[in-house]
A and B are shown apart, each in its own frame.
Chain A
């Protein structure tokens, strides 16, 4: 690289009384004048003020300075200010360097002579490094005006609608035959007790009808390439064996299908046909043929559905299809999976028929569920006494240490619904009640007023061995009431397990594909817990809903709207700028060992097989320097933090 001969201006700021008199500013200026390549050195009361900046601009123009050093506050404070001044005066902003003599010297040093000596060193360091600064530019890249939303639950739906309403093309990818996710399975929602279907289905229909939204159900994301503004997303459409363009959704195929399997949507409490829509309000309403169980596919005969389909929509030869979408941003809304309580054998799930998980209870309670919404036990009778156990799989170091956030509230919702529908006695066993949310605490009070027994204690055991003969055939819940320190044995007819939430199956693969990290529990990591809760470390990829951590519907919807807002903001801007301070790889030095590729956390380096050298994708690189440190020949380096700049900086301090 060829550098023009450096001519350096050094400006030492008094910052009112903040830097001087602790640092002897005049002394530092006099010292700076002695340094190599320094043409001019000055001090001023407030360098960041307009007159201060004018000084710099005037000197650049009149004295032909091509490097500027300001010794003042932290670069986090005013680096941009002075870079802009340099740009205004016509030199590249990266010819500017700051020496932090306020936060890191005058404010932290007791002795004035020591502070001055330290300031001299830091100025010398800045001068020495600036000699080797290079003019840097960043590129502007056009953003594709579309969003891919992975996951079609309430988070994905909300995000998609928000972005689509703003006028952008949206693709929703959902692996199930219908969108709707978990929320479509719910009966009522806490704390308002409005019917989930009543608020969910209109949104689903809106998605289906929105001119800007394309639905890819029964589909999965195969691969993602590219970078912010320019992702290439390959979506695999699994064959439905029903031609959506011909299907009228009449349902005759389902009616005529002779084969039945357990319904996943109904949590295996009832059956569905092998050609089916998961639930009546499914979107789209085109059924799918479950190839694994279809008699035609397994035995080669039947074809009842085809025979009866007047529209001729059944197509046993349909093949999977992979389509490629160019997207400016991606919203991850892959949701959660309910914890499987089988390993907690003391609760008897799977052993006692009247022990249900919360999702099973949602279906049991749902008008479209196996009992048409009547709360009945397997023997067809309503329960007289119901126990609800909180924190199953949550707040438990053996399973998930975290609180799943929604279980207390939905458990109390269940208590209310049981009381309302059957009048049964309800016993809730909790560790702590977590009800922080609008109207949540009020709901907690309400169910207590409704006569629900709230017992603070983790349940030790659910057993079918009764304490007394009269409870034969019932279940007994054993727990210590930790408030009264008494062990309780409560005979009940039905036990509901408040199972926790865990990351959806396959989210590890999604994370790897997108380069989005997951935390120790498997939830996707947001960029910043407080200030960037829906962004990820991958530019242009945003998080919505439970995939980032357990949350309830209001939080999910709010976060989904936020994710869509971020995505739309990026798309509306139209272009993205690449960072200037990023990696470069000198092809003449590169040995092709691919070490840099292995250490890059952003998959920003690829290998050019024809030249056998590594190549940086400037749009993906964030300038962390992992590659630079790992490259022994320094073929890889970070602009503005080059070996030479850093070593010169140190040498000027030390020698």
Chain B
């Protein structure tokens, strides 16, 4: 599956990980182009529906990036996200999705290189997993 080019949704919070992504840009740190960033205000606003939707629409991976614990712009939105995301991962696992297709990572606003590293690693991990089995889903 070496020529498989996954499509990955990265839902990132405005204050930390989105800023880190910008910083990766201003620092000209390149990473695979498979990432599609969706900006949200906080990981705490990530509804289970968004993750399900991304996978049912064929995303090969979903990356969620938020502020480090304690740094959340909204005090603890990131912590609230953890359980919900873990739960959705467990749910997807029941239907044959590799739970590793869903990843949550804390990347602070100043961590441009970390952003680059996580994107690179996640893309490689998804590439190894192959395409999302829901790509051919017609009962959405």
Q: Which A residues are closer than 8 A to B by beta carbons?
A: 74-76, 100, 102-105, 107-111, 114-115, 117-118, 121-122, 125, 517, 537, 581, 599, 601, 622-626, 628-630, 634, 638, 641, 643, 646-647, 649-651, 653-655
B9 / chain A contacts, CB cutoff of 8 Å:
650, 653-654
- Closest 7 pairs (CB-CB, A-B): A625-B45, A103-B25, A624-B74, A114-B33, A654-B57, A107-B25, A103-B22
A654 / chain B contacts, CB cutoff of 8 Å:
7, 9, 54, 57-59
For the complex, what is the distance from the CA of A103 to the CA of B54, rounded to whole Å? 23
B81 / chain A contacts, CB cutoff of 8 Å:
629
Residue of B with least CB distance to A118: B33
A581 / chain B contacts, CB cutoff of 8 Å:
41
Residue of A with least CB distance to B81: A629
For the complex, what is the distance from the CA of A643 to the CA of B81, rounded to whole Å? 16
Could you list 19 further interchain pairs (A-B, Cβ under 8 angstroms) beyond the known A107-B25, A115-B33, A654-B59? A103-B25, A104-B21, A107-B28, A517-B75, A581-B41, A601-B77, A622-B74, A624-B41, A625-B40, A628-B45, A629-B45, A629-B81, A629-B84, A650-B9, A653-B36, A653-B38, A654-B7, A654-B9, A654-B54
Chain A-chain B contacts (Cβ-Cβ < 8 Å), number: 125
Residue of B with least CB distance to A640: B41
For the complex, what is the distance from the CA of A625 to the CA of B116, rounded to whole Å? 27
Residue among A75, A537, A653 making CB contact with B7, cutoff 8 Å: A653
User: Within 8 Å of chain A (Cβ to Cβ): is B93?
Assistant: no
For the complex, what is the distance from the CA of A151 to the CA of B52, rounded to whole Å? 51
B45 / chain A contacts, CB cutoff of 8 Å:
624-626, 628-629, 638, 641
For the complex, what is the distance from the CA of A601 to the CA of B73, rounded to whole Å? 11
Q: Are A641 and B57 in contact (CB under 8 A)?
A: no
Q: Are A646 and B33 in contact (CB under 8 A)?
A: no
Residue of B with least CB distance to A655: B57
Q: Which B residues are closer than 8 A to A by beta carbons?
A: 7, 9, 18-19, 21-22, 24-26, 28-31, 33, 35-42, 44-50, 53-54, 57-59, 73-77, 80-81, 84, 116
B44 / chain A contacts, CB cutoff of 8 Å:
624-626, 629
A638 / chain B contacts, CB cutoff of 8 Å:
41, 45
For the complex, what is the distance from the CA of A74 to the CA of B28, rounded to whole Å? 14
For the complex, what is the distance from the CA of A102 to the CA of B35, rounded to whole Å? 14
Q: Are B77 and A76 in contact (CB under 8 A)?
A: no
For the complex, what is the distance from the CA of A626 to the CA of B30, rounded to whole Å? 33
Could you show 12 A-B contacts with beta carbons less than 8 Å apart? Answer: A104-B21, A122-B36, A125-B36, A599-B80, A601-B76, A625-B77, A626-B77, A626-B80, A629-B44, A646-B38, A650-B53, A654-B58
Q: A601-B77, A647-B50, A650-B9 are in contact. Are A74 and B25 (CB under 8 A)?
A: yes
Residue among A76, A107, A121 making CB contact with B19, cutoff 8 Å: A76
Residue among B22, B40, B49, B73 making CB contact with A104, cutoff 8 Å: B22
For the complex, what is the distance from the CA of A629 to the CA of B88, rounded to whole Å? 13
Smallest beta-carbon distance B123→chain A, Å: 12
Smallest beta-carbon distance B53→chain A, Å: 5
Residue of A with least CB distance to B31: A108
Residue among B18, B48, B58, B75 making CB contact with A601, cutoff 8 Å: B75
Q: Are A649 and B28 in contact (CB under 8 A)?
A: no
Q: Are B49 and A643 in contact (CB under 8 A)?
A: yes
Smallest beta-carbon distance A94→chain B, Å: 14
Q: Are B50 and A108 in contact (CB under 8 A)?
A: no
Smallest beta-carbon distance B83→chain A, Å: 11
B19 / chain A contacts, CB cutoff of 8 Å:
76
B18 / chain A contacts, CB cutoff of 8 Å:
76
Q: A109-B30, A118-B33, A649-B38 are in contact. Are A626 and B22 (CB under 8 A)?
A: no
Q: Are A125 and B49 in contact (CB under 8 A)?
A: no
Q: Are B39 and A655 in contact (CB under 8 A)?
A: no
A103 / chain B contacts, CB cutoff of 8 Å:
21-22, 24-26
Q: Are B22 and A76 in contact (CB under 8 A)?
A: yes
Q: Are B41 and A650 in contact (CB under 8 A)?
A: no
